[in-house]
């Protein structure tokens, strides 16, 4: 018989490599707050009693200022504040600088659910299965309003913003079932926009994958690129310059020269913008002839197109995105916007990029 828990948990389980570090900073803030709260309340009580009025209209003794005291109560709080800032900044960069050896998952927020896709193509709604001891990178976007993907037991969260990609990573350390929340008010059913992440051993995860068939995002993206939207009619994938738009070969993660002589690193957000707003950033040597695909391509299809275009370029060492392991393709490195010429017969089925 399972023993009943007799105490109330004040904090979620520490189930990731960063959880303890985040909690230690939080405990440090609590300790400082309690220390100064007790100190100030004790001082108020002491002075209220020690210097209470004993005779009417008494003339108090003159007290001169103290340079040492003034410096002390300025310098000590400064040191405490800087220690909080330094520690917090260190943790921030640990949490939001993407590692390079990650498994790359995709997440799409939608009122009111979370949709996840595995590197091998399996899809889940409001559930996410991950292996223990592996760095998991989530490339996230939303189909409607602003959301925020929050894993309390992993002590990490990030906004999911309309019209762009944001990123989050974690490495789970304890097998189990942990909650997922949306931490940004997103509508009437916001409180019900939750789910569960299942942390499994590698063997159990592999078994789970084998029972859930799926097409990897890059393969689905290749079908969209070559067949569904006809992108290949204007954009080559072998580096040749025969297309009406820029080639997609070896562009992701590289600097792209634009028509206004400025440069931009081609990343996921640049690819997405190039598909939805082709005239926003025109590649040098090409014209603004690609039609917009805004509203024609779903968020999941956009993820697949981006995943495919990324496979056409080698991983960029030291990029903000991670890279790979057995189940992943090159991780986030930037991709260029391209120029696509609308085919008279394919006006509604064009490729990403201008």
The pair of three-digit structure tokens given for residue 192, joined into one six-digit string: 């019900």
Q: Given 3-state DSSP classes, what are the helix, strand and coil percentages for the chain, each rounded to the nearest 5?
A: 30, 20, 50
Over 50: is that where the pLDDT of 40 sits? yes
Which pLDDT score, from 0 to 100, does residue 31 have? 96
CB atoms within 10 A of CB 337: 29
What is the domain range of residue 315? 216-354
Which pLDDT score, from 0 to 100, does residue 252 have? 87
The pair of three-digit structure tokens given for residue 221, joined into one six-digit string: 């993206």
Q: When comparing pLDDT for 89 and 225, which is higher?
A: 89
Contact 168, 28 (CB under 8 A): no
Q: Which of 183, 214, 245 is the last residue of a domain?
A: 214
Contact 341, 244 (CB under 8 A): yes
Band the pLDDT of 354: cuts 50, 70, 90. very low
Band the pLDDT of 10: cuts 50, 70, 90. confident
112: preceding bond cis by omega (within 30 degrees) = yes
Same domain for 209 and 221? no
DSSP-derived letter for residue 258 is B
Q: Which of 197, 214, 231 is the last residue of a domain?
A: 214
Q: How many domains does the chain have?
A: 2
State mean pLDDT over 336-349.
Answer: 37
Q: In angstroms, rounded to a whole number, what is the distance separating the alpha carbons of residues 283 and 335?
A: 12
Which pLDDT score, from 0 to 100, does residue 320 have? 42
The pair of three-digit structure tokens given for residue 77, joined into one six-digit string: 């709080």
pTM for the complete prediction?
A: 0.73
Residue with tokens 């696509």: 340
Please calculate the CA angle 128-213-17 and round it to the nearest 5 degrees. 30
Same domain for 182 and 224? no
Q: Which of 196, 214, 232 is the last residue of a domain?
A: 214
State mean pLDDT over 85-101.
Answer: 93
State mean pLDDT over 103-113.
Answer: 93
User: Which CATH number do you get for residue 164?
Assistant: 2.60.40.420
Same domain for 165 and 192? yes
Which pLDDT score, from 0 to 100, does residue 7 have? 58
Same domain for 181 and 35? yes
Coil, helix or strand at residue 125: strand
Same domain for 181 and 148? yes
Residue with tokens 């997103």: 186
Helices (H) and strands (E) in the chain, counts: 6, 12
Q: When comparing pLDDT for 274 and 21, which is higher?
A: 21
Band the pLDDT of 88: cuts 50, 70, 90. very high
Which pLDDT score, from 0 to 100, does residue 93 have? 93
Buried b (16+ CB within 10 A) or exposed e, 187-210: eeebeebebebbbbeeeebeeebe
Same domain for 245 and 103? no
Buried b (16+ CB within 10 A) or exposed e, 141-180: bbbebebbbbbbbbbbbbbbbeeebbbbbbbbbeeeebeb
Which pLDDT score, from 0 to 100, does residue 24 have? 95
% of the chain with per-residue pLDDT over 90:
43
Closest among 309, 327, 59, 69 to 208, alpha carbons compared: 327
Which pLDDT score, from 0 to 100, does residue 253 have? 85
State mean pLDDT over 292-306.
Answer: 85
Q: Are strands 135-142 and 102-110 parallel, antiparallel or unpaired?
A: parallel
Same domain for 158 and 35? yes
Angle between helices 268-276 and 299-311 (to 10 degrees): 120
Which pLDDT score, from 0 to 100, does residue 79 have? 95
Band the pLDDT of 326: cuts 50, 70, 90. very low
Q: Could you tell me if residue 157 is inside a domain?
A: yes
Which pLDDT score, from 0 to 100, does residue 348 have? 36
State mean pLDDT over 294-303.
Answer: 84
Band the pLDDT of 344: cuts 50, 70, 90. very low
Same domain for 90 and 30? yes
Band the pLDDT of 272: cuts 50, 70, 90. confident
Over 50: is that where the pLDDT of 59 sits? yes
Mean pLDDT of the chain: 83
Q: In angstroms, rounded to a whole number, what is the distance separating the alpha carbons of residues 257 and 239?
A: 16
Coil, helix or strand at residue 65: coil
SS3 per residue for 205-256: HHHHHHCCCCCCHHHHHHHHHHHHCCHHHCCCCCCCCCCCCCCCCCCCCCEE
Please, what is the end-to-end C-alpha distance for the chain in angstroms? Answer: 64
Over 70: is that where the pLDDT of 255 sits? yes
User: Which CATH number do you get for residue 285?
Assistant: 1.10.760.10
Q: In angstroms, rounded to a whole number, what is the distance separating the alpha carbons of residues 313 and 78?
A: 48
**Cα 277 to chain centroid, rounded:** 23
Same domain for 167 and 21? yes
Which pLDDT score, from 0 to 100, does residue 3 have? 54
% of the chain with per-residue pLDDT over 70:
86
Which pLDDT score, from 0 to 100, does residue 289 have? 83
């Amino acid at each position: 018989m399972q023993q009943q828990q007799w105490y109330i948990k004040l904090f979620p389980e520490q189930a990731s490599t960063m959880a303890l570090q985040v909690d230690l900073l939080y405990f440090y803030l609590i300790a400082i707050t309690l220390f100064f709260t007790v100190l100030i309340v004790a001082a108020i009580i002491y002075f209220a009693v020690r210097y209470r009025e004993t005779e009417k209209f008494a003339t108090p003794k003159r007290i001169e200022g103290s340079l040492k005291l003034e410096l002390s109560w300025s310098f000590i709080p400064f040191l405490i504040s800087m220690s909080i800032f330094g520690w917090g900044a260190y943790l921030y960069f640990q949490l939001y600088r993407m590692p390079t050896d990650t498994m790359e998952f995709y997440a799409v927020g939608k009122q009111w659910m979370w949709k996840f896709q595995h590197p091998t193509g399996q899809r889940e709604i409001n559930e996410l299965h991950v292996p223990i001891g592996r760095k998991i990178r989530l490339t996230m976007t939303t189909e409607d309003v602003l959301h925020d993907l929050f894993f309390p037991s992993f002590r990490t969260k990030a906004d999911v913003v309309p019209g762009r990609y944001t990123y989050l990573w974690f490495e789970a350390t304890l097998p189990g079932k942990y909650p997922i929340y949306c931490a940004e008010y997103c509508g009437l059913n916001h409180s019900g926009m939750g789910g569960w992440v299942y942390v499994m051993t590698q063997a159990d995860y592999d078994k789970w994958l084998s029972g859930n068939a799926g097409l990897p995002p890059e393969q689905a993206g290749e079908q969209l690129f070559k067949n569904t939207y006809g992108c290949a009619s204007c954009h080559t994938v072998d580096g040749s310059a025969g297309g009406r738009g820029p080639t997609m070969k070896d562009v992701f993660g590289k600097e792209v020269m634009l028509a206004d002589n400025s440069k931009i690193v081609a990343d996921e957000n640049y690819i997405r913008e190039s598909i939805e707003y082709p005239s926003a950033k025109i590649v040098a040597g090409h014209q603004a002839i690609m039609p917009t695909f805004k509203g024609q391509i779903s968020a999941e299809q956009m993820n697949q197109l981006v995943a495919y275009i990324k496979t056409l370029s080698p991983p960029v060492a030291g990029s903000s995105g991670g890279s790979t392991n057995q189940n992943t393709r090159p991780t986030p490195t930037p991709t260029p916007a391209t120029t696509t010429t609308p085919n008279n017969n394919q006006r509604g089925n064009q490729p990403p990029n201008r």
